[in-house]
Amino acid sequence: MKRIGILTSGGDAPGMNAAIRAVTRRAIDKGLEVFGINYGYAGLVAGDIFPLTSADVSDRIQRGGTFLYSARYPEFANVEGQLKGIEQLKKFGIDALVVIGGDGSYHGALRLTEHGYNTIGLPGTIDNDIPFTDFTIGFDTAVSTAVDAIDKLHDTASSHERTFIVEVMGRGAGDVALWAGVAGGAQKIIVPERDFDIAEIAEEVKKGRQNGNKNMIIVLAEGVMHADEFKKELDKYGDFDSRATVLGHVQRGGSPTARDRVLASKMGAHAVDLLLDGKGGLAVGIEDNKITSHDILDLFDSKHKPDLSLFDLNESISR
């Protein structure tokens, strides 16, 4: 193996640039050439590929987003699209690939490995919804962004004695809501992994008011329902002077936290080491604070399990 490629795919996540930097510099340190691929699998098929040097990844670790850009490319699910990508890999003499992204990105990585191009996946997604890793690249930053917003909403909620429904990202997993809810002192956390009764929540809000709480924050994972819809349902049970706030894509941006930078650096370096060992079709993760790897096929047969002890913790300390 003489050359490796790097691409980012799917939604961007803070820390992706740190991962690109680590892959590039680890590979160069091991005597390999590195090529960046713009716009994910779409750029691979289009041949939007260029050499990466150590200088190219300088001053990147602190920047959010991905300087390799990202794009959706569902056509890569088809063999025709995969073969076009392989044609470009051969054209540029690239022997192996590192893919930074989420579940959809991993499908492409597996297909390339099956075609003979060892590919390693790094979990770059703020949702933290990838099996066999305790944390994904970008999750910690997204939670910090959400908590910062919740802290600010506490101030205005107290000033007007209002109830705020704060919608955070997480379509299929409630991790961002769980962590941001506990850290932000939310009265209630609503996630797809736990059932809820709006009538009961309304009663708890009323009791909170009676107990002297001047502000009420409800953190809602986007996968449950939209904040406006939740507000309308809640308001059927009383006048809570409620407001719906959707944090949206602001959670994807911003400078990555130290934890995300270190995690991305560890994972990126490990991906290169796996490729040097002749391995592919693997997804890198962190479990019990140790960097690990699992067959990507195992991830498709498994489901991410959020730390629901945080939900129970918040139920007991938020009243």
Asked whether residue 173 is marked as a ligand-binding residue, the answer is no
The catalytic residue among 127, 129, 175, 260 is 127
Residue 21 labeled ligand binder:
yes
171 labeled binding residue: yes
Q: Is 187 annotated as contributing to ligand binding? A: no
Q: Is 209 annotated as a binding residue?
A: no
**Can you count the helices (H) and strands (E) in the chain?**
11, 11
Q: Is 72 marked within a binding site?
A: yes
150 close to 166: Cβ distance less than 8 angstroms: yes
Q: Residue 283 to residues 160, 175, 295, 298: CA-CA distances in angstroms?
A: 48, 20, 6, 9
Task: Flag whether 267 is marked binding.
Answer: no
194 annotated to a ligand binding site: no
Beta sheet of 163-168, edge-to-edge order: 188-190, 216-221, 163-168, 242-246
Residue 162 counted as an annotated binding residue: yes
**Identity of the amino acid at 4:** I
- Say how far apart CA 4 and CA 51 lie, in whole Å: 10
Say if residue 125 carries a ligand binding annotation. yes
Is 42 annotated as a binding-site member?
no
Closest CA to 216 of 319, 85, 298: 319
Q: Note if 127 is an active site residue.
A: yes
Phi, psi (degrees; rounded to nearest 5) at 186: -70, 145
Q: Are strands 49-52 and 96-101 parallel, antiparallel or unpaired?
A: unpaired
Helix or strand (DSSP H, E) at 140: helix 139-160
Question: Is residue 104 a known part of a binding site?
Answer: yes
**Which residues make up each annotated binding site for Mg(2+)?**
103
**Which residues make up each annotated binding site for ADP?**
21-25
**Which residues make up each annotated binding site for ATP?**
11, 72-73, 102-105
Catalytic residues: 127
**Which residues make up each annotated binding site?**
11, 21-25, 72-73, 102-105, 125-127, 162, 169-171, 222, 243, 249-252
